[in-house]
Structure 1
Amino acid sequence: MSDFLIKTNHKPKKLAVFTALTAALLITSGCQSLQGAGATSSPSSMVQAQKLDNFTITGKIGVTTPANSATNTGAQGGSAFYAWGQQQERFAIELIGALGIGKTNIEYDGQTATLVSEKTGTLTADNPETLLQKATGWQAPISQMPYWISGRSAPSDSAPQLDEQGRLISSVNGEWTASFTYKGADKLPVKISAVQPAGHKVIMTINHQSS
Protein backbone atom coordinates (compact mmCIF):
# COMPACT_ATOMS: atom_id res chain seq x y z
CA MET A 1 0.00 0.00 0.00
CA SER A 2 2.96 2.31 -0.20
CA ASP A 3 1.42 3.91 -3.32
CA PHE A 4 -1.55 4.95 -1.18
CA LEU A 5 0.48 6.97 1.34
CA ILE A 6 -0.41 10.65 1.64
CA LYS A 7 2.61 12.90 1.18
CA THR A 8 2.29 16.13 3.13
CA ASN A 9 4.11 19.27 4.14
CA HIS A 10 5.30 19.23 7.76
CA LYS A 11 3.68 22.58 8.55
CA PRO A 12 0.02 22.39 9.68
CA LYS A 13 -0.81 25.64 7.89
CA LYS A 14 -0.03 23.91 4.60
CA LEU A 15 -2.76 21.32 5.06
CA ALA A 16 -4.55 22.66 1.97
CA VAL A 17 -2.02 20.93 -0.28
CA PHE A 18 -3.30 17.55 0.91
CA THR A 19 -6.42 17.95 -1.20
CA ALA A 20 -4.82 17.60 -4.62
CA LEU A 21 -2.37 14.97 -3.44
CA THR A 22 -4.92 12.63 -1.91
CA ALA A 23 -7.33 13.16 -4.79
CA ALA A 24 -4.58 12.22 -7.25
CA LEU A 25 -3.85 9.07 -5.27
CA LEU A 26 -7.48 8.01 -5.39
CA ILE A 27 -7.70 8.65 -9.13
CA THR A 28 -4.47 6.88 -10.04
CA SER A 29 -5.44 3.86 -7.94
CA GLY A 30 -8.09 3.15 -10.58
CA CYS A 31 -11.02 3.11 -8.15
CA GLN A 32 -14.49 4.22 -9.16
CA SER A 33 -16.45 6.56 -6.92
CA LEU A 34 -19.55 5.22 -5.26
CA GLN A 35 -22.76 7.20 -5.01
CA GLY A 36 -23.54 8.49 -1.53
CA ALA A 37 -26.53 7.17 0.36
CA GLY A 38 -29.61 9.34 0.30
CA ALA A 39 -30.76 10.61 3.68
CA THR A 40 -34.14 9.55 4.93
CA SER A 41 -36.72 12.29 5.36
CA SER A 42 -38.17 11.15 8.66
CA PRO A 43 -36.26 11.80 11.92
CA SER A 44 -37.48 8.46 13.26
CA SER A 45 -36.19 6.47 10.27
CA MET A 46 -33.11 4.30 10.56
CA VAL A 47 -30.06 5.41 8.59
CA GLN A 48 -29.24 2.67 6.10
CA ALA A 49 -25.59 1.66 6.14
CA GLN A 50 -24.12 1.56 2.65
CA LYS A 51 -20.80 0.69 1.11
CA LEU A 52 -18.06 3.16 1.98
CA ASP A 53 -17.58 6.16 -0.26
CA ASN A 54 -14.28 7.53 -1.49
CA PHE A 55 -13.39 10.88 0.03
CA THR A 56 -10.58 13.23 0.97
CA ILE A 57 -10.72 15.29 4.15
CA THR A 58 -8.41 17.36 6.32
CA GLY A 59 -8.82 18.87 9.77
CA LYS A 60 -7.83 18.47 13.38
CA ILE A 61 -8.46 15.68 15.87
CA GLY A 62 -8.30 15.93 19.64
CA VAL A 63 -8.27 12.96 22.02
CA THR A 64 -8.85 12.90 25.78
CA THR A 65 -8.26 9.93 28.06
CA PRO A 66 -9.64 9.78 31.63
CA ALA A 67 -7.66 9.74 34.85
CA ASN A 68 -6.24 6.37 35.86
CA SER A 69 -6.04 5.72 39.60
CA ALA A 70 -4.05 2.51 39.07
CA THR A 71 -1.18 4.44 37.50
CA ASN A 72 -1.82 7.63 39.48
CA THR A 73 -2.18 9.69 36.30
CA GLY A 74 -4.70 12.42 35.68
CA ALA A 75 -6.78 13.00 32.57
CA GLN A 76 -4.60 13.52 29.52
CA GLY A 77 -5.17 14.93 26.07
CA GLY A 78 -3.48 15.38 22.73
CA SER A 79 -4.24 16.69 19.27
CA ALA A 80 -3.03 16.44 15.68
CA PHE A 81 -3.68 17.88 12.25
CA TYR A 82 -4.61 15.19 9.78
CA ALA A 83 -5.20 14.34 6.12
CA TRP A 84 -7.41 11.32 5.40
CA GLY A 85 -7.84 9.61 2.03
CA GLN A 86 -10.54 6.93 1.83
CA GLN A 87 -10.86 4.37 -0.98
CA GLN A 88 -13.83 2.15 -0.15
CA GLU A 89 -12.66 0.03 2.83
CA ARG A 90 -9.03 1.15 2.49
CA PHE A 91 -7.69 4.36 3.95
CA ALA A 92 -4.49 6.27 4.57
CA ILE A 93 -4.16 8.90 7.29
CA GLU A 94 -1.25 11.21 7.92
CA LEU A 95 -1.04 12.92 11.29
CA ILE A 96 1.12 15.93 12.17
CA GLY A 97 1.74 16.58 15.86
CA ALA A 98 0.47 13.08 16.26
CA LEU A 99 -0.72 12.67 19.84
CA GLY A 100 2.75 12.60 21.35
CA ILE A 101 4.52 10.33 18.84
CA GLY A 102 5.33 12.83 16.09
CA LYS A 103 4.43 12.67 12.40
CA THR A 104 2.59 9.42 11.81
CA ASN A 105 1.13 7.44 8.91
CA ILE A 106 -1.72 5.00 9.47
CA GLU A 107 -2.94 2.71 6.68
CA TYR A 108 -5.68 0.09 6.59
CA ASP A 109 -6.35 -2.29 3.69
CA GLY A 110 -9.53 -3.83 5.07
CA GLN A 111 -7.65 -6.61 6.89
CA THR A 112 -4.47 -5.21 8.43
CA ALA A 113 -3.67 -1.82 9.93
CA THR A 114 -0.13 -0.41 9.81
CA LEU A 115 1.25 2.56 11.74
CA VAL A 116 4.64 4.16 11.07
CA SER A 117 6.22 6.93 13.14
CA GLU A 118 9.75 7.92 14.11
CA LYS A 119 9.05 7.13 17.76
CA THR A 120 7.36 3.74 17.37
CA GLY A 121 8.78 2.46 14.09
CA THR A 122 6.38 0.18 12.19
CA LEU A 123 3.51 -1.44 14.09
CA THR A 124 0.71 -3.65 12.75
CA ALA A 125 -2.61 -4.88 14.13
CA ASP A 126 -5.84 -6.43 12.90
CA ASN A 127 -7.72 -3.15 13.25
CA PRO A 128 -6.83 0.55 13.54
CA GLU A 129 -8.30 0.95 17.05
CA THR A 130 -5.93 -1.67 18.50
CA LEU A 131 -3.05 -0.14 16.57
CA LEU A 132 -3.68 3.40 17.83
CA GLN A 133 -3.99 2.23 21.42
CA LYS A 134 -0.79 0.19 21.11
CA ALA A 135 1.14 3.17 19.74
CA THR A 136 -0.27 6.03 21.82
CA GLY A 137 -2.50 4.69 24.59
CA TRP A 138 -5.42 6.63 23.09
CA GLN A 139 -8.80 5.19 22.15
CA ALA A 140 -10.79 6.31 19.10
CA PRO A 141 -13.57 4.69 17.00
CA ILE A 142 -11.55 4.81 13.77
CA SER A 143 -13.41 1.98 11.99
CA GLN A 144 -16.73 3.81 12.35
CA MET A 145 -15.34 7.19 11.28
CA PRO A 146 -15.51 6.62 7.47
CA TYR A 147 -19.28 6.14 7.76
CA TRP A 148 -19.74 9.01 10.21
CA ILE A 149 -17.64 11.35 8.07
CA SER A 150 -20.07 10.59 5.22
CA GLY A 151 -23.01 11.47 7.49
CA ARG A 152 -24.19 7.86 7.86
CA SER A 153 -24.36 5.36 10.66
CA ALA A 154 -21.89 2.46 10.64
CA PRO A 155 -23.25 -1.08 10.13
CA SER A 156 -22.60 -1.90 13.80
CA ASP A 157 -24.24 1.31 15.11
CA SER A 158 -27.45 1.39 17.12
CA ALA A 159 -30.01 4.09 17.91
CA PRO A 160 -29.16 6.54 15.09
CA GLN A 161 -31.06 9.81 15.34
CA LEU A 162 -31.83 12.19 12.47
CA ASP A 163 -32.77 15.84 12.40
CA GLU A 164 -35.71 17.29 10.44
CA GLN A 165 -33.53 17.47 7.33
CA GLY A 166 -32.75 13.76 7.50
CA ARG A 167 -29.16 14.29 8.70
CA LEU A 168 -27.52 12.01 11.23
CA ILE A 169 -27.15 13.90 14.52
CA SER A 170 -26.28 11.09 16.93
CA SER A 171 -25.42 7.39 16.88
CA VAL A 172 -24.20 4.75 19.33
CA ASN A 173 -21.49 2.18 18.72
CA GLY A 174 -20.61 -0.02 21.68
CA GLU A 175 -19.51 2.34 24.46
CA TRP A 176 -19.12 5.26 22.03
CA THR A 177 -21.86 7.84 21.58
CA ALA A 178 -21.23 10.14 18.61
CA SER A 179 -22.83 13.51 17.91
CA PHE A 180 -22.61 15.45 14.65
CA THR A 181 -22.43 19.17 13.88
CA TYR A 182 -23.36 20.64 10.49
CA LYS A 183 -22.82 24.01 8.85
CA GLY A 184 -25.99 25.56 7.48
CA ALA A 185 -27.86 23.19 5.20
CA ASP A 186 -24.79 21.04 4.45
CA LYS A 187 -25.44 17.30 4.32
CA LEU A 188 -21.97 16.31 5.58
CA PRO A 189 -20.83 16.97 9.17
CA VAL A 190 -18.12 19.50 9.94
CA LYS A 191 -17.48 18.10 13.42
CA ILE A 192 -17.85 14.72 15.09
CA SER A 193 -17.72 14.34 18.87
CA ALA A 194 -17.52 10.82 20.30
CA VAL A 195 -17.52 10.05 24.03
CA GLN A 196 -17.48 7.06 26.36
CA PRO A 197 -18.98 7.00 29.88
CA ALA A 198 -15.53 6.28 31.33
CA GLY A 199 -14.23 9.61 30.03
CA HIS A 200 -12.59 8.83 26.69
CA LYS A 201 -13.40 11.57 24.18
CA VAL A 202 -12.59 12.28 20.53
CA ILE A 203 -13.38 15.54 18.75
CA MET A 204 -12.75 15.68 15.00
CA THR A 205 -13.18 18.77 12.82
CA ILE A 206 -13.66 18.05 9.12
CA ASN A 207 -12.87 19.99 5.97
CA HIS A 208 -14.51 18.06 3.13
CA GLN A 209 -12.64 18.30 -0.16
CA SER A 210 -14.27 18.38 -3.58
CA SER A 211 -13.81 15.26 -5.69
Structure 2
Amino acid sequence: MQIIRFCLALLTAAGLASCAQDRPKSPQADQPWQSAMGWLNRCSPWSMQGKMGLHWGHHGGSMYFVWQENQATYDIDLNGPLGEGSMHVHGDAQGMDLQDDRGTVQHAETPESMLKTAFGIDAPISRLRDWIHGRAGSPDARVILDDLGRIASLHDGKFQVNYTDYATVETYSLPSHIHITGPQFSLVMAIHQWSVPEKCHKLAY
Protein backbone atom coordinates (compact mmCIF):
# COMPACT_ATOMS: atom_id res chain seq x y z
CA MET A 1 0.00 0.00 0.00
CA GLN A 2 2.94 2.34 0.65
CA ILE A 3 4.10 2.16 -2.97
CA ILE A 4 0.55 2.85 -4.17
CA ARG A 5 0.20 5.88 -1.90
CA PHE A 6 3.54 7.24 -3.13
CA CYS A 7 2.54 6.87 -6.77
CA LEU A 8 -0.83 8.47 -6.12
CA ALA A 9 0.92 11.47 -4.60
CA LEU A 10 2.96 11.85 -7.77
CA LEU A 11 0.09 11.36 -10.21
CA THR A 12 -2.23 13.53 -8.15
CA ALA A 13 0.26 16.38 -8.41
CA ALA A 14 0.05 16.05 -12.15
CA GLY A 15 -3.74 16.04 -11.96
CA LEU A 16 -3.88 19.13 -9.76
CA ALA A 17 -1.65 20.97 -12.20
CA SER A 18 -4.30 20.37 -14.84
CA CYS A 19 -6.82 22.30 -12.76
CA ALA A 20 -4.74 25.46 -12.93
CA GLN A 21 -5.15 27.94 -15.72
CA ASP A 22 -3.30 27.19 -18.94
CA ARG A 23 -0.03 29.02 -19.27
CA PRO A 24 0.38 31.62 -22.03
CA LYS A 25 1.68 30.30 -25.31
CA SER A 26 5.39 30.75 -25.85
CA PRO A 27 6.97 32.09 -29.04
CA GLN A 28 7.72 28.46 -29.96
CA ALA A 29 4.07 27.39 -29.85
CA ASP A 30 4.42 25.85 -33.32
CA GLN A 31 6.83 23.19 -32.07
CA PRO A 32 5.33 19.68 -32.59
CA TRP A 33 5.44 18.86 -28.88
CA GLN A 34 3.58 22.06 -27.98
CA SER A 35 1.03 21.58 -30.75
CA ALA A 36 0.27 18.10 -29.42
CA MET A 37 -0.29 19.44 -25.92
CA GLY A 38 -2.54 22.23 -27.16
CA TRP A 39 -4.65 19.64 -28.96
CA LEU A 40 -4.83 17.37 -25.89
CA ASN A 41 -5.92 20.28 -23.68
CA ARG A 42 -8.91 20.82 -25.99
CA CYS A 43 -9.82 17.12 -25.94
CA SER A 44 -11.49 16.90 -22.56
CA PRO A 45 -12.38 14.36 -21.34
CA TRP A 46 -9.40 12.15 -22.15
CA SER A 47 -7.71 9.24 -20.43
CA MET A 48 -4.51 7.24 -20.40
CA GLN A 49 -3.63 3.89 -18.89
CA GLY A 50 -0.52 1.84 -18.44
CA LYS A 51 2.03 0.60 -15.93
CA MET A 52 4.52 2.42 -13.75
CA GLY A 53 7.53 1.45 -11.69
CA LEU A 54 8.83 3.54 -8.79
CA HIS A 55 11.97 3.38 -6.64
CA TRP A 56 12.83 5.57 -3.67
CA GLY A 57 15.38 4.77 -0.98
CA HIS A 58 15.22 1.03 -0.30
CA HIS A 59 11.62 0.81 -1.49
CA GLY A 60 10.16 0.11 -4.89
CA GLY A 61 7.46 -1.64 -6.83
CA SER A 62 5.20 -1.48 -9.85
CA MET A 63 1.49 -1.02 -10.48
CA TYR A 64 -1.12 -0.34 -13.13
CA PHE A 65 -2.83 3.03 -13.48
CA VAL A 66 -5.83 4.59 -15.20
CA TRP A 67 -5.88 8.38 -15.33
CA GLN A 68 -9.01 10.23 -16.52
CA GLU A 69 -9.18 13.99 -16.88
CA ASN A 70 -12.24 16.15 -17.52
CA GLN A 71 -11.39 19.86 -17.55
CA ALA A 72 -11.21 20.91 -13.89
CA THR A 73 -11.53 17.42 -12.37
CA TYR A 74 -9.57 14.19 -12.55
CA ASP A 75 -9.80 10.58 -11.37
CA ILE A 76 -6.85 8.22 -10.90
CA ASP A 77 -7.00 4.49 -10.13
CA LEU A 78 -3.96 2.47 -9.07
CA ASN A 79 -3.82 -1.31 -8.72
CA GLY A 80 -0.91 -3.45 -7.60
CA PRO A 81 0.24 -6.62 -9.39
CA LEU A 82 -2.33 -9.44 -9.32
CA GLY A 83 -4.83 -7.01 -7.82
CA GLU A 84 -2.85 -6.65 -4.58
CA GLY A 85 -3.86 -3.28 -3.17
CA SER A 86 -5.76 -0.52 -4.89
CA MET A 87 -6.52 3.15 -4.41
CA HIS A 88 -8.71 5.75 -6.07
CA VAL A 89 -8.37 9.52 -6.00
CA HIS A 90 -10.79 12.19 -7.17
CA GLY A 91 -9.57 15.74 -7.25
CA ASP A 92 -10.07 19.30 -8.37
CA ALA A 93 -8.49 22.69 -7.70
CA GLN A 94 -9.61 22.54 -4.04
CA GLY A 95 -7.77 19.32 -3.23
CA MET A 96 -8.15 15.58 -3.44
CA ASP A 97 -9.99 12.70 -1.79
CA LEU A 98 -8.21 9.35 -1.57
CA GLN A 99 -10.07 6.08 -1.03
CA ASP A 100 -8.23 2.82 -0.35
CA ASP A 101 -9.45 -0.73 -0.96
CA ARG A 102 -10.99 -0.82 2.54
CA GLY A 103 -13.19 2.19 1.79
CA THR A 104 -11.26 4.60 4.01
CA VAL A 105 -11.32 8.15 2.61
CA GLN A 106 -8.71 10.81 3.30
CA HIS A 107 -8.61 14.43 2.14
CA ALA A 108 -5.48 16.37 1.27
CA GLU A 109 -5.07 19.87 -0.10
CA THR A 110 -1.77 19.30 -1.90
CA PRO A 111 0.11 16.15 -2.99
CA GLU A 112 3.42 17.84 -2.13
CA SER A 113 2.45 18.08 1.55
CA MET A 114 1.27 14.47 1.56
CA LEU A 115 4.54 13.33 0.00
CA LYS A 116 6.54 15.32 2.54
CA THR A 117 4.54 14.12 5.55
CA ALA A 118 4.30 10.45 4.58
CA PHE A 119 7.72 9.90 3.02
CA GLY A 120 9.93 12.85 3.98
CA ILE A 121 10.46 13.72 0.32
CA ASP A 122 10.42 17.30 -0.90
CA ALA A 123 10.06 17.44 -4.69
CA PRO A 124 8.55 19.82 -7.29
CA ILE A 125 6.05 17.21 -8.40
CA SER A 126 3.63 19.82 -9.74
CA ARG A 127 5.78 19.70 -12.92
CA LEU A 128 4.95 16.06 -13.49
CA ARG A 129 1.94 16.75 -15.69
CA ASP A 130 4.14 18.66 -18.11
CA TRP A 131 6.78 15.92 -18.15
CA ILE A 132 4.26 13.12 -18.61
CA HIS A 133 2.62 15.01 -21.47
CA GLY A 134 5.93 15.57 -23.20
CA ARG A 135 6.73 19.20 -22.51
CA ALA A 136 9.08 21.24 -20.34
CA GLY A 137 7.89 21.95 -16.81
CA SER A 138 9.60 25.34 -16.45
CA PRO A 139 11.08 28.03 -18.73
CA ASP A 140 14.56 27.20 -17.41
CA ALA A 141 14.42 23.53 -18.43
CA ARG A 142 17.11 22.38 -20.86
CA VAL A 143 15.38 20.55 -23.71
CA ILE A 144 16.79 18.28 -26.41
CA LEU A 145 14.50 17.55 -29.37
CA ASP A 146 14.61 14.56 -31.70
CA ASP A 147 14.52 14.74 -35.50
CA LEU A 148 10.70 15.00 -35.45
CA GLY A 149 10.58 17.97 -33.07
CA ARG A 150 9.51 15.88 -30.08
CA ILE A 151 11.26 16.12 -26.74
CA ALA A 152 13.89 13.40 -26.48
CA SER A 153 15.11 14.48 -23.04
CA LEU A 154 14.99 17.42 -20.69
CA HIS A 155 16.76 18.56 -17.55
CA ASP A 156 14.45 20.49 -15.22
CA GLY A 157 15.97 21.57 -11.93
CA LYS A 158 17.34 18.42 -10.28
CA PHE A 159 15.31 16.08 -12.49
CA GLN A 160 16.28 14.33 -15.71
CA VAL A 161 13.44 13.16 -17.97
CA ASN A 162 14.06 10.83 -20.93
CA TYR A 163 11.48 9.89 -23.57
CA THR A 164 12.33 6.58 -25.18
CA ASP A 165 9.15 6.08 -27.23
CA TYR A 166 6.08 7.90 -28.53
CA ALA A 167 2.64 6.77 -29.72
CA THR A 168 0.69 8.34 -32.58
CA VAL A 169 -2.76 9.50 -31.45
CA GLU A 170 -4.67 10.89 -34.41
CA THR A 171 -1.98 13.04 -36.08
CA TYR A 172 -0.06 13.85 -32.89
CA SER A 173 2.78 12.16 -31.02
CA LEU A 174 2.20 11.57 -27.31
CA PRO A 175 4.72 9.94 -24.93
CA SER A 176 4.41 6.19 -24.41
CA HIS A 177 7.57 5.49 -22.38
CA ILE A 178 9.08 7.96 -19.89
CA HIS A 179 11.94 7.67 -17.40
CA ILE A 180 12.11 10.36 -14.69
CA THR A 181 15.14 10.47 -12.38
CA GLY A 182 15.52 12.78 -9.39
CA PRO A 183 17.66 12.99 -6.24
CA GLN A 184 15.18 11.04 -4.10
CA PHE A 185 13.21 8.81 -6.46
CA SER A 186 13.02 7.45 -10.00
CA LEU A 187 9.86 6.75 -11.98
CA VAL A 188 9.30 4.77 -15.18
CA MET A 189 5.96 5.06 -16.96
CA ALA A 190 4.78 2.88 -19.83
CA ILE A 191 1.61 4.40 -21.26
CA HIS A 192 -0.19 1.62 -23.12
CA GLN A 193 -3.16 3.64 -24.36
CA TRP A 194 -4.28 7.23 -24.81
CA SER A 195 -8.05 7.71 -25.34
CA VAL A 196 -9.79 10.85 -26.59
CA PRO A 197 -13.48 11.52 -27.40
CA GLU A 198 -14.89 11.51 -30.91
CA LYS A 199 -14.90 15.31 -31.14
CA CYS A 200 -11.10 15.35 -30.96
CA HIS A 201 -10.77 13.37 -34.18
CA LYS A 202 -11.91 16.44 -36.12
CA LEU A 203 -9.69 18.79 -34.09
CA ALA A 204 -6.66 16.82 -35.20
CA TYR A 205 -7.07 17.76 -38.86
Distance in 2 separating the partners of 1:184 and 1:81: 18
Distance in 2 separating the partners of 1:119 and 1:64: 25
Return the offset for 1:122: 2.2
Return the offset for 1:63: 0.8
Return the offset for 1:56: 0.7
Tell whether 2:102 aligns with 1:102: no
**Counterpart residue number, 1:167:** 150
Cα distance change of structure 1 residues 197 and 135 upon mapping to structure 2, 3 Å threshold: closer
Tell whether 2:67 aligns with 1:76: no
Return the offset for 1:105: 0.8
Cα RMSD of the aligned pairs, angstroms, is 3.7
> Larger helix proportion, structure 1 or 2?
2
Distance in 2 separating the partners of 1:139 and 1:93: 22
Match for residue 75 of structure 2 among 81, 92, 109: 92
What is the letter of the counterpart of residue 177 of structure 2? K
Superposition pairs of residues 109-148 of structure 1, within 5 angstroms: 109-118=92-101, 121-132=104-115, 134=117, 143-148=126-131
SS at match of 1:209: strand
Cα distance change of structure 1 residues 190 and 39 upon mapping to structure 2, 3 Å threshold: farther
Tell whether 2:180 aligns with 1:189: no
Contact 2:51 2:192 in 1 (8 A): no
Distance in 1 separating the partners of 2:141 and 2:103: 35
Greater RCO, CA 8 A, separation 6+: 2
What is the letter of the counterpart of residue 52 of structure 2? I
Distance in 1 separating the partners of 2:140 and 2:71: 18
Return the offset for 1:180: 1.2
Report the TM-score, using the length of structure 1 for normalisation: 0.60
Distance in 1 separating the partners of 2:166 and 2:122: 27
Distance in 2 separating the partners of 1:112 and 1:177: 28
Return the offset for 1:92: 1.1
**Counterpart residue number, 1:56:** 47
Tell whether 2:191 aligns with 1:206: yes
User: Structure 2: which 5+ runs fail to align?
Assistant: 1-27, 197-205
Contact 2:86 2:100 in 1 (8 A): yes
> Larger strand proportion, structure 1 or 2?
2
Return the offset for 1:131: 3.1
Sequence identity percentage: 28
User: Structure 1: which 5+ runs fail to align?
Assistant: 1-36, 67-74
What is the letter of the counterpart of residue 105 of structure 2? T
Distance in 2 separating the partners of 1:135 and 1:51: 36
Contact 1:89 1:109 in 2 (8 A): yes
Return the offset for 1:187: 1.4
Contact 1:65 1:139 in 2 (8 A): no
Cα distance change of structure 1 residues 139 and 182 upon mapping to structure 2, 3 Å threshold: farther
Report the TM-score, using the length of structure 2 for normalisation: 0.61
**Counterpart residue number, 1:26:** none
**Counterpart residue number, 1:18:** none
SS at match of 1:151: coil
